[in-house]
Structure 1
Amino acid sequence: MANYLKIFNIPNHYQFHRGGQIDNGIIAYETWGQLNQNKSNALLILTGLSADSHAARHSANDTAGWWEYMIGPGKAIDTNQWFVICASSLGSCKGSTGPCSPNPRTGQAYRFDFPDLCLEDIANTSVLLCQSLGIDRLHATIGPSMGGMTALALLLKHSEYCKHLVHIASGMASPPFSTAIRSLQREAILKDENFNQGHYSAANWPEEGMKFARKIGMLSYRSATEWADRFPRSLKKVPEHAFGSEFPIESYLEHHANQFVHKFDPISYLYLSRAMDWFDGHSYAQPRGSNPLGRVKLDGALIIGAETDLLFPVALQTELHQLLQKAGIKSELVITNSIQGHDAFLVDQQTFTQLVGDYLVQSAV
């Protein structure tokens, strides 16, 4: 366990949304800034599938984080003003308890004995973490991608726990195209001969399955418009063997797949991927057909999408915005012209810095 991580001990006999429980579970998290006296300046950042708690550098870890441009003194999420919390998701392999963690009853990794994981479980343990810090209500929850759906799960399960929502590149549920992409990723991992029903090792890692899963993912994270700009078709090389890598886009996919393959645990990937596809915010409508967000109490929301996002197209952000408005919640919808597709929130720094920073400034008034 990295010594810069803070640890929250999940209460024993923690019950999962779909049944099952764990003991001795932990959530690894990091914080930036200082909690004010009345504990009203807390922001919770909920991560995408493969991200961890290290969203930005801080005094205990000077390594750049996955949202470095967004978080820090004087930045859009200004840690001179806000107390920021980011945790590695329950079920991940980034310090928090997940299927690759040892089961205290056996001493061996849970593997598929880990309970069925839902985004509601990630949301619930995130609230428990924040409550353990004395935070009765968050000023805002900020969630991109999977984190956006987890933020909705949090609001649906804890309707008054957040004053504001910043929801990025996500939606009330995964559309069929997104589920198809993730289904193919899971299939690639499961069919790798080294996966061995989850009994793989560092020496026999399901590399090919993880590489294919990452390449499939990369096809959906960025846009064809961006790739047309970055990879002119005229640029190609002589392949090393018949049907070998010839075009720049092939090298790009291979490079990113090789970088990722040993950085994430295959079973954790399966669990988190499935949790995304299982989540359906519409199922919370009571009675059926009513507004599922009708009981949510928010002072305001910012919903951001990108025109080029294939995974979570703009119709999903529009739907969420309209549901919030029908629930009487002040909601602002912004669809950017970022060409980077689903990953725009990681890459289009100028646009997203402006949007998130301005909203937080206005929300503090």
Structure 2
Amino acid sequence: MGDARRYHPLSSPFRMKRGGELHGARVAYETWGTLAPARDNAILILTGLSPSAHAAANAEDPTPGWWEAMIGPGRAFDTDRFFVVCVNSLGSDKGSTCAASIDPATGTPYRLTFPELSLEDVANAAYEAVTDGLGIMRLACLVGCSMGGMSALAYMLLHPGSVRTHISVDTAPQAQPFAIAIRSLQREAIRLDPHWHGGQYDGDEWPEHGMSIARKLGVITYRSAMEWNGRFARIRLDSDERDGSSPFGFEFQVESYLEGHARRFNRQFDPNSYLYLSRASDWFDVAEYGDGDVMRGLARIHVDEALVIGVSTDILFPLEQQETIAKGLGAAGARVDFVALDSPQGHDAFLVDIENYSRAIGGFLGKIR
């Protein structure tokens, strides 16, 4: 199996919003479809915290991507018509420069000497990959999912005129206290793991317990209570599935389900990178661009058309936050379609409820000329 990832070297030094700079940094990206001669059919997708740039299968890497059913010929992101780009976030360990990367000044991993990361840095790195790397000066559409939706807002605020239309998926103009509280607990679980070693863990000693708890907390908030009730109710594990050696071992199926998720995630994501991206999500605030007012900040974003999708069962990025984005973009002059879905899957709905998201996104893109 090949690697479809390509890499764009960032400007050096690459200056960070909160101070500090990177030298010799890069971001990973993948593409699908064909860029038109006028370079006017490009869609950029910015991802949530943990996904890579591999959003869908392609010739170099036929393995299914994280948004596989959405990208391809005749799908919502129709590659017969559009050139689709997915950039891995700066600070992520999926090919882009991050805390686990080698600092060229020392020859050792950055670890906690990596500069403070903001979603504005993520946006600027993606902008460089698109403009300098691919020669695309104006996107036909910018798409942001979850954390990537906040990065997309930053992209449009920092680079006016670079985006024609926008699709906002299950995101927010700023983190609310509940989301900050959850992410704070996730970071604390990692930092309190004795194997974290102040960020100096290595291959043999890895904060697996902390990462496991962080992942479980995430999975709990990505779905809704309705989803948990419907899937697991109070079903207990069979006696042979229980750990009899532990006095407080798993007894319910939902516990075993979370453990499985945590096991699959462990060692698949660098803990320090997780910490940096998590905190960047908490820091982002559109109000910074509007003298402390979110609506004034959104008023600085000018696109022709926008689609804003939210889910009524999302507790991490509540529906009212999607409404705020829709109102703000509309007040700034965009023609806005606001879609409120009742998917039971909560925040993860955009990865699961493909039928409804395909209908909304495919319908919106079908109107773009």
User: Structure 1 length normalisation: TM-score?
Assistant: 0.97
Q: Paired residue for 1:31?
A: 31
Unaligned runs of 5+ in 1: none
The answer on whether the counterparts of 2:30 and 2:54 sit within 8 Å (CA) in structure 1 is yes
1-structure distance, mates of 2:292, 2:350: 35
Q: Paired residue for 2:137?
A: 136
- Give the 3-state SS of the residue equivalent to 2:195 in structure 1: coil
Q: Paired residue for 1:253?
A: 258
Residue range with higher mean Cα deviation, 293-302 or 157-166: 293-302
The answer on whether the counterparts of 2:175 and 2:284 sit within 8 Å (CA) in structure 1 is yes
**Pairwise CA distance, 1:136:** 1.2
1:72 aligns with 2:72: yes
**Pairwise CA distance, 1:227:** 1.1
Q: Paired residue for 1:115?
A: 115
Q: Paired residue for 2:288?
A: 283
Identity across the alignment (%): 46
The answer on whether the counterparts of 2:295 and 2:328 sit within 8 Å (CA) in structure 1 is no
- Give the 3-state SS of the residue equivalent to 2:109 in structure 1: coil
- Give the 3-state SS of the residue equivalent to 2:102 in structure 1: coil
Letter in 2 for 1:265: D
- Give the 3-state SS of the residue equivalent to 2:69 in structure 1: coil
Letter in 2 for 1:112: L
Which residues in structure 2 correspond to 1:154-169 (within 5 Å)? 154-169=155-170
**Pairwise CA distance, 1:159:** 1.8
- Give the 3-state SS of the residue equivalent to 1:291 in structure 2: helix
Alpha carbons of structure 1 residues 286 and 159: separation in structure 2 relative to 1, 3 Å: farther
1-structure distance, mates of 2:270, 2:295: 39
Which of 338, 345, 354 is the matching residue for 2:350? 345
1:314 aligns with 2:319: yes
**Pairwise CA distance, 1:235:** 3.8
Alpha carbons of structure 1 residues 234 and 114: separation in structure 2 relative to 1, 3 Å: closer
The answer on whether the counterparts of 1:237 and 1:247 sit within 8 Å (CA) in structure 2 is no
- Give the 3-state SS of the residue equivalent to 2:115 in structure 1: coil
Alpha carbons of structure 1 residues 200 and 331: separation in structure 2 relative to 1, 3 Å: same
Q: Paired residue for 2:301?
A: 296
The answer on whether the counterparts of 1:226 and 1:339 sit within 8 Å (CA) in structure 2 is yes
Which of 273, 283, 299 is the matching residue for 2:278? 273
1:63-90 Cα offsets, whole Å, 9 max, x none, are 0000000001111101111001111110
1:203-248 Cα offsets, whole Å, 9 max, x none, are 1010000000001111100011011111131444333232111101
Aligned residues: 363
1:120-141 Cα offsets, whole Å, 9 max, x none, are 0010111111112111100011
The answer on whether the counterparts of 1:35 and 1:82 sit within 8 Å (CA) in structure 2 is yes
**Pairwise CA distance, 1:325:** 1.6
**Pairwise CA distance, 1:287:** 8.4
Q: Paired residue for 2:190?
A: 189
Q: Paired residue for 1:240?
A: 243
Residue range with higher mean Cα deviation, 323-332 or 157-166: 323-332
1:335 aligns with 2:340: yes
Which of 346, 363, 367 is the matching residue for 1:362? 367
1:142-194 Cα offsets, whole Å, 9 max, x none, are 11100100000001111211011100110100110000000000000000000
**Pairwise CA distance, 1:289:** 7.8
Residue range with higher mean Cα deviation, 41-50 or 289-298: 289-298
2-structure distance, mates of 1:296, 1:248: 46
Q: Paired residue for 1:179?
A: 180
**Pairwise CA distance, 1:296:** 2.0
Alpha carbons of structure 1 residues 289 and 99: separation in structure 2 relative to 1, 3 Å: closer
1:200 aligns with 2:205: no
Across the aligned residues of Structure 1 and Structure 2, the Cα RMSD in angstroms comes to 1.2
Letter in 1 for 2:282: D
